[in-house]
Structure 1
Amino acid sequence: MLMSEPPRRTPAHALLGIAFLIAATACFAVLDTTVKYVGAFVSVLVAVWFRYVFHAVAVSAIMLPLRGRQLWQTAHPRYQVLRGCLLLLVSVLSFVSVQFMPVGEFTAIVMISPLAVTLLAALFLKEDVAALRWALVVGGFAGALLVVQPGGDVIGWASLLPLVMVFTYAWFQILTSKMARTEDPMTMHFYTGWVGALVASLALPFVWQVIPDARTFALLCLIGLMGTVGHFLLILAFARAPASTLTPYLYTQIGFAMLCGWVVFGHTPGTLELAGMGMIVLCGATASWFTARDRRLPVDPPEA
């Protein structure tokens, strides 16, 4: 993806791809944890703005000298804008959601995205879905209910936000799968950053606040860095190993998120939450592997 010819996919390349993927999930776990921590000091929209501006500037600085005008050439500019807006909405919903949930539980909810893609593809794209896939979808969403536990610690509208975010991201994934047939991945990555940065900038005057101190500013920059590096590592991973090989390792993000939540906030999931996470990992990983094997729809995780 980053070179004129993709590297040969030997067993050594597959191991390197797995290492890149696991490193990417660690970046995303650090991102989510930092967002939750910083949310006590600054507006969520300010954090979102930092994340996208960092992304846009970093991708442009690295890729424009390599690609030149080719980087922003696209056959579907309207779809690029729509895709960028969808991912921006996903980021806003996820940044708000993580303020109401422990990081590990939030990440588990994020990981039902492949199941939501299967559901939407069946309902709106009229794709045939086998009985086993439907069972995995039901099992995954049952696990999500055990994690969220409406009426428990996460109350009211806040308990619905992660699920709304998941379905928004599922539409983003479906659009991505259609665009990937004609669009260059780095071009989509470029537009994702700039669309998010520009749209977030329109709302910035209404939510801007003085950054309290240099430490908070550094944490906001860390959010942008982890999102940008995480996506770059994903690109490297999927360039070196097939999705069917990498998919099960996406769920290591839940482990990293639980670890970060314990280190920073001292939180450990309860029995029901752990049972729900286990169901999500089992059903989600299996469904994602089937999807990757059949090469139907993308299974990349959101950076949240």
Structure 2
Amino acid sequence: MSDPSRHPPTQAALGILFLILATAFFAVLDTSVKYVGAFVPVLMAVWFRYMFHAVVVTAVMLPLRGRSLLRTAHPRFQVLRGSLLLAVSAISFVALQYMPVGEFTAIVMITPLVVTLLAALFLRERVSALRWVLVTGGFAGALLVVQPGGNVIGWASLLPLVMVFTYAWFQILTSKMARTEDPMTMHFYTGWVGALLSSLVLPVVWKTIPDAGTFAILCLIGLMGTVGHFLLILAFKRTQASTLTPYLYGQIGFAMFCGWLVFGHVPGQLELIGIAMIVLCGATASWLTARDRRLPVEPPEA
């Protein structure tokens, strides 16, 4: 992969545009998941998302790359990485049935802070005092958003936090694999691992799709996830992560807009304060991480 720092300003602007589009696609995906959950089992939506991803990536990339697309130095890690992302999707798809899209997205955005915490606890990385302040502030913001004991069912309020810790491990594994693995190869295996594993439970959860509109939304979920990740790859290929990081948090704005447009939901004052704390602490931590080039920074997708 070429060095993004050598790209002209037009390439950097294009990378930012691709990233903003990716966050918008992910917000539409999350909103679609919440909507379609009223008509079909959540795990069906998970299966559609990954099967669409696997088929499209294979159809597009295999003719272009041939067998080199399949070449990997760590097949077991590919399976583990795909399994982690599948778990992230399943947990988040369920959580979205109980939480507004905007607030859910805001909580997911504390992932960079959780990566910092896990790196300190398990990878023995040295963490500065500033990063610990950011981690504390981000978690405080998440508590304001979730408000345990509020309108969200008790156990459901913990799902986004469980998802965030799972996604953080996914990010850490991705950072290790990125040193030896091709991004499109990882993208290929992620789709097929998710599709095959989710197919194991499909006969148990399968329900007749009620109408063509519901089927179209399920396909939209797959399309948004697949194209969103393509745009993400294009963005990071053209622009440095430290430049892109501030724009990642635009996904919260897109998610809040979609939540208002489809469900008529507007966050309350405490939720808005919590979201602001998450954006401030998370964006700062993400920028520091990207600047130090220790771990990759990616916007989350449900």
Same fold (TM over 0.5): yes
Query: Is 1:205 paired with 2:203?
Result: yes
Query: Which among 13, 27, 30 is matched to residue 28 of structure 2?
Result: 30
Query: Which among 53, 59, 81 is matched to residue 51 of structure 2?
Result: 53
Q: CA deviation at 1:159?
A: 0.7
Query: Is 1:194 paired with 2:192?
Result: yes
Q: Which amino acid aligns with 2:124?
A: K
| 1:1-304 mapped onto 2 (5 Å cutoff) | 8-304=6-302
Aligned equivalents of 1:293, 1:210: Cα separation in 2: 49
Aligned equivalents of 1:102, 1:155: Cα separation in 2: 13
| Moved beyond 3 Å, runs of 4+ | 5-8
Q: Which amino acid aligns with 1:132?
A: L
Aligned equivalents of 2:8, 2:288: Cα separation in 1: 22
Residue-pair matches, total: 301
Aligned equivalents of 1:301, 1:176: Cα separation in 2: 13
1:168-225 CA distances to partner (integer Å, 9 max, x unpaired)?
0000000001111100000000000000000000110010010000000000000000
8 A Cα contact 1:20 1:234, kept in partner:
yes
1:29-62 CA distances to partner (integer Å, 9 max, x unpaired)?
0000000000000000000000000000011011
8 A Cα contact 1:107 1:254, kept in partner:
yes
Aligned equivalents of 2:259, 2:44: Cα separation in 1: 22
8 A Cα contact 1:113 1:301, kept in partner:
no
Distance 1:127 1:6, change over 3 A: closer
Runs (5+) with no aligned partner, structure 1:
none
Q: Which amino acid aligns with 1:159?
A: S
Q: CA deviation at 1:9?
A: 1.4
Q: Which amino acid aligns with 1:196?
A: G
8 A Cα contact 1:114 1:284, kept in partner:
yes
Q: Which amino acid aligns with 1:90?
A: V
8 A Cα contact 1:147 1:272, kept in partner:
yes
Aligned equivalents of 2:7, 2:248: Cα separation in 1: 19
Q: CA deviation at 1:86?
A: 0.3
8 A Cα contact 1:73 1:187, kept in partner:
yes
Q: Which amino acid aligns with 1:152?
A: G
Q: Which amino acid aligns with 1:95?
A: F
| % identity of equivalent residues | 81
1:126-179 CA distances to partner (integer Å, 9 max, x unpaired)?
000000000000000100000000000112110100000000000000000111
8 A Cα contact 1:13 1:240, kept in partner:
yes
Q: Which amino acid aligns with 2:249?
A: Y
Aligned equivalents of 1:252, 1:11: Cα separation in 2: 21
Aligned equivalents of 2:174, 2:225: Cα separation in 1: 18
Q: What is the root-mean-square deviation of aligned Cα atoms in Å?
A: 0.9
Q: CA deviation at 1:6?
A: 6.6
Runs (5+) with no aligned partner, structure 2:
none
Aligned equivalents of 2:210, 2:75: Cα separation in 1: 38
> When the two structures are superposed, what TM-score results if normalisation uses the length of structure 2?
0.98
